[in-house]
Amino acid sequence: MASLVIHGGAGTIPRASFTPESYQAARQGLADALKAGWKILSSGGLALDAVEAAVIALENHPSFNAGHGAVLNAAGDHELDAAIMDGRYRNAGAIASARTIRNPIRAARRVMEASDCVLLAGAGADAFAREQGLDIVDQAYFTTDLRREHWKRADEERRGLLNRERSEAEKHGTVGAVACDDLGNLAAATSTGGYTYKRAGRVGDTPVIGAGTYAANGVVAVSCTGLGEYFIRRGTAHDIAARIRYCGETLDTATAAAIAELSADKCGAGLIAVDARGAIAMPHNTEGMYRGAVTADGQISVGIYAVDFSPFDA
C-alpha cells in the first residue's frame, strides 16, 4: 500500500509566537509538498521520485530550514546538506556544505545516479551540480528576513546580550520525506541548512547515510530531524532498520526506542518512517514537529504541534 510521510523539522515556533498567517502558511507548505509527492505515488510512480518531489517543494518554501529559508552559519553564510536513498538497491547520494545549489536534494540524487560517489562536499558539490546543469543561485536566494533575525539573536546570545532563551525553531530545522510505493519500494530524502550560527564547515546527520537518512526495501525508510551530532553518534536511521530487521521489532517500537535514546541524551529530536507494509511513524520529543501524511484514499493530514494533526482540506 502506497504511503507518503513528510517532516519540516522538529524545531517548531512556540505556539504563542505563531501568527495565524504564518501558522497557515506552514500548514499549506506541508500540504503542497504532500500533494507533489502523492501525485507521483497515486499514478503508480516510484517512491524515489515521490520523496524527491516532496522535498523539492519544502526546499522552495520559506517556512522551512532547507533551500530558500535555510539558516545562516556563524559567518553569516548558507551551507546546505541533503541526502537521498533508494531502498531498491540501497543506492544513495548526498551533498554537504553546498553554497549555490538551488535545490540540494536534486544534487544529491544526481550524485547517486551520475557519479561514482555517495557524498560530495563544499566547492566540489557546487561544481558537480553546475556540471549537471542544475539551477545555481546566489547566496542571497536562500536568505529570508526571519533567518537574519534568528542569526542576530544567536549572535546576541554568544555575546551575552540575549535576555531570553532561543526557541528550537530559532536554532535548527530540517525537511524530509519517506515513501512506500505500490510495488513496495522504499525511499528516503532529507535536506537542511543545519543549525543557526553553526561553525563554518560543520556537517550534521542529514547527508550521513545511516545517521539522518536511510532506506532498505523490505525493512524501513527513515528521515530524521534534530541536532545532528547525536544522530551521527548513534547511527539512528540505520539503528531503526537493524531493530526491525534483526530483532523483529515493529515500526512503532523501533522508532520509539530511537527517540527514547535521544531523549536520554537531552536531544530535541523527531523522525518519520515508513515500513515495508506502508505503515507510518512520526515520533518526536519536542513541543511539536512540522509533519504530514497521505492515506491510501488520498486524504492529506498535517500538523505542527502534538495535538493539531488533522485533515487539510484547503
Could you tell me the three cell numbers for 104?
540540494
State the amino acid at position 286 in one-letter form.
T
Closest CA to 106 of 121, 115, 93: 93
Burial 51-76 (b: 16+ CB within 10 A, else e): bbbbbbbbbbbbbbbbbbbbbbbeee
Cα-based distances in Å from 220 to 114, 167, 276: 25, 31, 6
**Catalytic residue (one of 12, 143, 174, 196):** 174
Q: What is the DSSP letter of 308?
A: -
| CA 214 – CA 284 distance, rounded (Å) | 18
Contact of 272 with 242, CB cutoff 8 Å? no
Active-site residue flag, 213: no
Contact of 183 with 21, CB cutoff 8 Å? no
Could you tell me the three cell numbers for 10?
522538529
Q: Which residues are tagged catalytic? A: 174
